[in-house]
Structure 1
Amino acid sequence: MQPLHATDPARIGGYRVLGRLGAGGMGVVLLGRSAGGALAAVKLVRAEYADDPDFRVRFRREVAVARRVRSRWAVPVVDADTEAPAPWLATEFVPGPPLSDAVARAGGLPASSVRFLGSRLAEALDAVHEAGLVHRDVKPANVLLATDGPRLIDFGIARALDDTVLTATDVVIGSPGFLSPEQAQGGHVGPPSDVFSLGCVLAYAATGRRPFGTGPAEAMLFRTVHDAADTFGIPDGLLPPVAACLAKAPGDRPTAAQLRDALAEDTPGPWLPGGLLQLIAERSARMLQLPDIEPTRPTAGTAGTAGTAGTAGTAAHAPGVPADAPPAAASVPVPVPVSLPAPTRPRRRTVLAAGGALTLLTGGGGSAAWLLRDKDSAPDEKGSGPVRPVLAIGLQADLSGPGQTVGRAQRDGALLAVEELTSREDLPFAFRLAESDDRGAAGPAAAAAAAFTADTSVVAVLAATGPAAVAAVLARYDQAGLPVLTVNDGDTTHLNRVYTCLRPNDAYQMRPVVEYLTGRRRGTTLVVDDGTPYGWQTTRFLSEALRAGKSPMTPATVAPDADHTDLAREAVRSAAGAVLYGGGPSGAARLAVALAAAGYRGRALATQAVHDPRFLQEAGAAAEGWLLVSTAVDPAAAPAARAFDTAFRARHRAPAPPYAAEAYDAVHLLARCAQGLGRAQVGRGDLVPTLRGTTYEGVSKTYAFEQANGTYTGDGLFFYEVASGRFRFLGNRSTAWPV
Structure 2
Amino acid sequence: MRPLHPTDPARIGGYRILGRLGAGGMGVVLLGRSSGGALAAVKLVRAEYADDPGFRVRFRREVAVARRVHSRWAVPVVDADTEAPAPWLATEFVPGPPLSDAVARAGGLPADSVRFLGARLAEALGAVHEAGLVHRDVKPANVLLATDGPRLIDFGIARALDDTVLTATDVVIGSPGFLSPEQAQGGHVGPPSDIFSLGCVLAYAATGRRPFGSGPVEAMLFRTVHDAADTAGVPDGLLPAITACLAKTPGDRPTAAQLRDALAQDAPGPWLPGGLLQLIAERSAQMLRLPDIEPTLATAPAAPPGPADTSPADSPPADSPPADTSPGDTSPARPRRRTLLAAAAATLVAGGTTTAWLLGETDRPGGRGAGPARPTLAIGLQADLSGPGQSVGRAQRDGALLAVEELSADKGQPFTFRLDEADDRGAAGPAAAAAARFAADPTVVAVLAATATAAVTAVLTPYDQAGLPVLTANDGDTTHVSRVYTCLRPNNAYQMRPVVEYLTARERGSTLVVDDGTPYGWQTTRFLSEALRAGRRPMTTATVAADADHGDLAREAVRTAAGVVLYGGGPSGAARLAAALSAAGHRGRVLATQAVHDPRFLREAGASAEGWLLVSTAVDPAAAPAPPAARAFDTAFRARHGGPAPLYAAEAYDAVHLLARCARDLGRPQVGRGDLLPTLRGTTHQGVSKAYAFERANGTYTGDGLFFYEVASGRFRLLGTRSATWPA
- Using structure 1 for the length normalisation, give the TM-score: 0.90
With over 3 angstroms needed to count, the CA separation of the structure-2 counterparts of 1:351 and 1:563, relative to structure 1, is farther
Who is 1:516 aligned against? 502
1:686 aligns with 2:691: no
1:244 aligns with 2:230: no
With over 3 angstroms needed to count, the CA separation of the structure-2 counterparts of 1:622 and 1:179, relative to structure 1, is same
Instruction: Give the AA of the match of 2:444.
Output: V
How do residues 548-567 of structure 1 correspond to structure 2 at under 5 angstroms? 548-567=534-553
Q: How far apart are 1:6 and its partner, in Å?
A: 1.2
1:722 aligns with 2:711: yes
Distance 2:255 2:330 in 1: 55
With over 3 angstroms needed to count, the CA separation of the structure-2 counterparts of 1:352 and 1:635, relative to structure 1, is farther
Q: Is the deviation greater in 451-460 or in 109-118?
A: 451-460
Contact 2:493 2:523 in 1 (8 A): yes
1:644 aligns with 2:633: yes
Who is 1:316 aligned against? none
Contact 1:521 1:551 in 2 (8 A): no
With over 3 angstroms needed to count, the CA separation of the structure-2 counterparts of 1:95 and 1:351, relative to structure 1, is farther
Q: Is the deviation greater in 214-223 or in 543-552?
A: 214-223
With over 3 angstroms needed to count, the CA separation of the structure-2 counterparts of 1:299 and 1:426, relative to structure 1, is closer
Q: Is the deviation greater in 252-261 or in 565-574?
A: 252-261
1:369 aligns with 2:342: yes
1:267 aligns with 2:252: no
Distance 2:673 2:44 in 1: 29
Q: How far apart are 1:156 and its partner, in Å?
A: 2.1
With over 3 angstroms needed to count, the CA separation of the structure-2 counterparts of 1:163 and 1:175, relative to structure 1, is closer
1:380 aligns with 2:363: yes
Q: How far apart are 1:251 and its partner, in Å?
A: 2.3
How do residues 427-446 of structure 1 correspond to structure 2 at under 5 angstroms? 427-446=413-432
Distance 1:702 1:259 in 2: 48
Gaps of 5+ in 1: 302-334, 344-348
How do residues 78-117 of structure 1 correspond to structure 2 at under 5 angstroms? 78-117=78-117
Name the SS of the counterpart of 2:684 in structure 1: strand
RMSD of aligned alpha carbons:
2.4
1:701 aligns with 2:674: no
With over 3 angstroms needed to count, the CA separation of the structure-2 counterparts of 1:162 and 1:274, relative to structure 1, is closer
Who is 1:175 aligned against? 175
Distance 1:554 1:170 in 2: 46
Distance 1:490 1:299 in 2: 23
Contact 1:135 1:155 in 2 (8 A): yes
Name the SS of the counterpart of 2:382 in structure 1: strand
Name the SS of the counterpart of 1:444 in structure 2: helix
1:605 aligns with 2:578: no
Who is 1:675 aligned against? 664
Distance 2:672 2:641 in 1: 32
Name the SS of the counterpart of 1:493 in structure 2: coil
How do residues 108-187 of structure 1 correspond to structure 2 at under 5 angstroms? 108-161=108-161, 166-168=166-168, 173-187=173-187
Distance 2:66 2:590 in 1: 37
Instruction: Give the AA of the match of 1:388.
Output: R
Distance 2:103 2:470 in 1: 44
Contact 2:82 2:88 in 1 (8 A): yes
1:413 aligns with 2:417: no
Q: How far apart are 1:169 and its partner, in Å?
A: 8.2
Distance 1:299 1:647 in 2: 29
Distance 2:297 2:73 in 1: 36
Name the SS of the counterpart of 1:449 in structure 2: helix
Contact 1:421 1:431 in 2 (8 A): yes
With over 3 angstroms needed to count, the CA separation of the structure-2 counterparts of 1:662 and 1:250, relative to structure 1, is same
Contact 1:139 1:175 in 2 (8 A): yes
Distance 2:606 2:272 in 1: 39
With over 3 angstroms needed to count, the CA separation of the structure-2 counterparts of 1:724 and 1:144, relative to structure 1, is same
Q: Is the deviation greater in 159-168 or in 63-72?
A: 159-168
Name the SS of the counterpart of 1:393 in structure 2: strand
Q: How far apart are 1:599 and its partner, in Å?
A: 1.1
Name the SS of the counterpart of 2:479 in structure 1: helix
Distance 2:300 2:722 in 1: 33
Name the SS of the counterpart of 1:576 in structure 2: coil
1:470 aligns with 2:443: no
Distance 1:504 1:413 in 2: 20
Who is 1:321 aligned against? none
How do residues 183-262 of structure 1 correspond to structure 2 at under 5 angstroms? 183-262=183-262
Q: Is the deviation greater in 453-462 or in 90-99?
A: 453-462
Q: How far apart are 1:444 and its partner, in Å?
A: 2.4
Who is 1:583 aligned against? 569
Distance 1:678 1:300 in 2: 12
Residue 620 (structure 2) aligned to one of 613, 631, 634: 634
Who is 2:378 aligned against? 392
Q: How far apart are 1:264 and its partner, in Å?
A: 2.1
Instruction: Give the AA of the match of 2:57.
Output: V
With over 3 angstroms needed to count, the CA separation of the structure-2 counterparts of 1:462 and 1:367, relative to structure 1, is closer
Instruction: Give the AA of the match of 2:336.
Output: L
Q: How far apart are 1:550 and its partner, in Å?
A: 1.2
Who is 1:324 aligned against? none
Gaps of 5+ in 2: 311-324, 349-356
Q: Is the deviation greater in 242-251 or in 585-594?
A: 242-251
Q: How far apart are 1:192 and its partner, in Å?
A: 1.6
Instruction: Give the AA of the match of 1:380.
Output: D
Q: How far apart are 1:517 and its partner, in Å?
A: 0.5
Q: How far apart are 1:464 and its partner, in Å?
A: 1.3
1:359 aligns with 2:335: yes
Contact 2:307 2:412 in 1 (8 A): no
Q: Is the deviation greater in 643-652 or in 441-450?
A: 441-450
Deviation readout 1:103-149 (Å, 9 max, x if unpaired): 11221112221111111111111111111111111100100111221
With over 3 angstroms needed to count, the CA separation of the structure-2 counterparts of 1:342 and 1:85, relative to structure 1, is farther
Who is 1:659 aligned against? 648
Name the SS of the counterpart of 2:513 in structure 1: strand
